[in-house]
Structure 1
Amino acid sequence: MNDLNMMDKVVESLTKLRKKVPLVHCITNYVTINDCANILLSFGASPAMCEAYDEVFDFVKLSSALYINVGTLTKEQEEAAVLASISAKQNNIPVVLDPVACGAIPRKLSVINRIFEVGRVDIIKGNIGEIKFLAGEASKVRGVDSLEGSEGALEACITLANKYNCVIAATGKEDFITDGKRSAIIQNGTEMFTKVTGSGCMLGALCGGTAGSSEDKFIAAVTAVLSMNVAGEGAYEEAKFPGSFKVKLMDHIYCLSEEKLKEEGKIIWK
């Protein structure tokens, strides 16, 4: 795999997003809904936090991508997410699924299975524990948090990518992205992500932005993860505490340039 060529594609993906300003339809959890909306705006996308059952089918048709996060799933959200995924399938709209706490709460898995049965999923973005669980492996989780290390993560991602024929992005100390054939290990990032609520949800939303503006969903996922991590590193250089870090993260996502992404990205391509 030509590393320089792959990085050029990542940079091009960021450029495409800012030119298109994709509309990302988010059905996401209440803890981080505002964070997801604001980071999409800072990234160069347009968020819509539409989750009413009677509206989602038609709203998906207007969108560039659909982001489904099952973190705080109400009954209406559940039905809306399934209906939205059906509309996405019918209207060829890419879907990013964030399987929050799927390894801890059995109901989450049943909803995820319904979405796969009747709708579509282009990217699954979760932490390593969630991805290992979906891949059928034993995983260590604490609520919405993963206690897993990197060992076996890429193999689990490849298994899941082949099972569902979609792109998998697993986050941890290292981040693993694969479509089953091409893989990337991203080594940027900061521990401060674990000290603020919503970093994973915000990343899922960013995946919606890149998926809505790039045909290659593997490159789209790599672009979103790398962008979040490079911005996080820049934010931590200026802000060493959680409250100020979160503010600076938004600033650095907004200021992120293609040049910075290319210069500072630490990716192992496989």
Structure 2
Amino acid sequence: MLSSIAGVLRSVREKTPLVQAITNYVTINDCANILLCFGASPAMCEAKTEVEDFTGLISSLYINIGTLTEEQKEAALLAARKASELNKPIVLDPVACCAIPRKMTIIKELFENAKISVIKGNTGEIKFLAGYAGKVRGVDSIDDGQGAVEACVSLARQYNTIVAATGETDIITDGERVCFIHNQTPMLTRITGAGCMVGALTAAAAGVTEDRFTSSAAALMAMSLAGEMAANSLEKQLPGTFRMRLFDCLHNLTEEDILNGGKISCL
């Protein structure tokens, strides 16, 4: 599968997918920059009077509900409906869905009005959405991962979508196939927005292939492998320096890096 994942990276850099990101204010700049490093083109278009027209131009749509205002909510629904009409992939990042009841109402509306291609969340969020007992602290997962595979598979089948759960080991499933990404570094938990950034990458990868199982695995591996490489390049484990190195390592990531350094297993 590593060769297919490397092929997704190549396609992103050849096609430069345009990603419309309706995302949270804490990490909007990080998401834009990580997309550029990946080889995609970011567009943070969220004005409700503009999103429908703009959605006709995009390769994919990323919706992150972390700090969703009422205008963002309306814009997200409009963009999601239009993207579905145009058969454009939509990646939903259910940030803090466990902590704030309003977010579950928004998620329900999105599923009622659009076809969600990928749900990307941390393990706690995914388990919560699947009806399992996911453990979170605010927007961060503190889940031990027990039952995570079953929760991911259940959620993927429930919504007929791809589920990508980040954690100590990343999990990707379409409800039948399951794969695990083993490239990791604890440094990714010491900077703000790592999950949001990988959500944006998931949307970029979804925009270049209809194989959303492989594209999601490619996005999560790219982030985890770049994080691993960035951490290994540090003399001291400093989060500020790591954050800068993360962008640089993703920018420099090659197909050969994936083939030689990617760690994946599949069921």
TM-score, with length taken from structure 2: 0.98
The residue identity in structure 1 corresponding to 2:261 is E
Partners of 1:17 and 1:210 within 8 A in 2: yes
Residue in structure 2 matching 1:167, options 162, 169, 172:
162
2:86 counterpart of 1:84: no
Counterpart for residue 252 of structure 2: 255
Cα shift readout 1:116-161 (whole Å, capped 9, x = no counterpart): 0011210000000000000011121111011112221111000000
In structure 2, C-alpha distance between the alignment counterparts of 1:220 and 1:209, rounded to whole Å: 9
Partners of 1:23 and 1:65 within 8 A in 2: yes
Corresponding pairs, count? 265
2:233 counterpart of 1:265: no
Counterpart for residue 56 of structure 1: 51
The residue identity in structure 2 corresponding to 1:148 is D
Residue in structure 2 matching 1:68, options 60, 63, 75:
63
In structure 1, C-alpha distance between the alignment counterparts of 2:187 and 2:85, rounded to whole Å: 40
The residue identity in structure 1 corresponding to 2:241 is S
In structure 2, C-alpha distance between the alignment counterparts of 1:195 and 1:152, rounded to whole Å: 25
Using the aligned pairs only, state the percent identity: 55
Counterpart for residue 145 of structure 1: 140
Cα shift readout 1:196-252 (whole Å, capped 9, x = no counterpart): 000000000000110001110000000000000110011101232100100000000
2:42 counterpart of 1:43: no
Counterpart secondary structure, 1:184: strand
Gaps of at least 5 residues in structure 2 are none
The residue identity in structure 1 corresponding to 2:104 is L
Counterpart secondary structure, 2:197: helix
**What pairs up with 1:1-270 in 2 under 5 angstroms?**
6-239=1-234, 240-270=237-267
In structure 2, C-alpha distance between the alignment counterparts of 1:28 and 1:166, rounded to whole Å: 21
Moved more, 89-98 or 232-241: 232-241
Cα shift readout 1:152-211 (whole Å, capped 9, x = no counterpart): 111100000000000000011111000011110111110011110000000000001100
Counterpart secondary structure, 1:117: helix
Shift of 1:7: 1.8
User: RMSD between aligned alpha carbons?
Assistant: 0.7
In structure 2, C-alpha distance between the alignment counterparts of 1:140 and 1:234, rounded to whole Å: 29
TM-score, with length taken from structure 1: 0.97
Counterpart for residue 3 of structure 1: none
Gaps of at least 5 residues in structure 1 are 1-5
Partners of 1:67 and 1:204 within 8 A in 2: yes
Cα shift readout 1:87-133 (whole Å, capped 9, x = no counterpart): 01111110000000000000011101100001121000000000000
Runs of at least 4 residues off by over 6 Å: none
Counterpart secondary structure, 1:54: coil
Partners of 1:17 and 1:214 within 8 A in 2: no
The residue identity in structure 1 corresponding to 2:68 is L
Moved more, 163-172 or 237-246: 237-246
Counterpart secondary structure, 2:52: helix
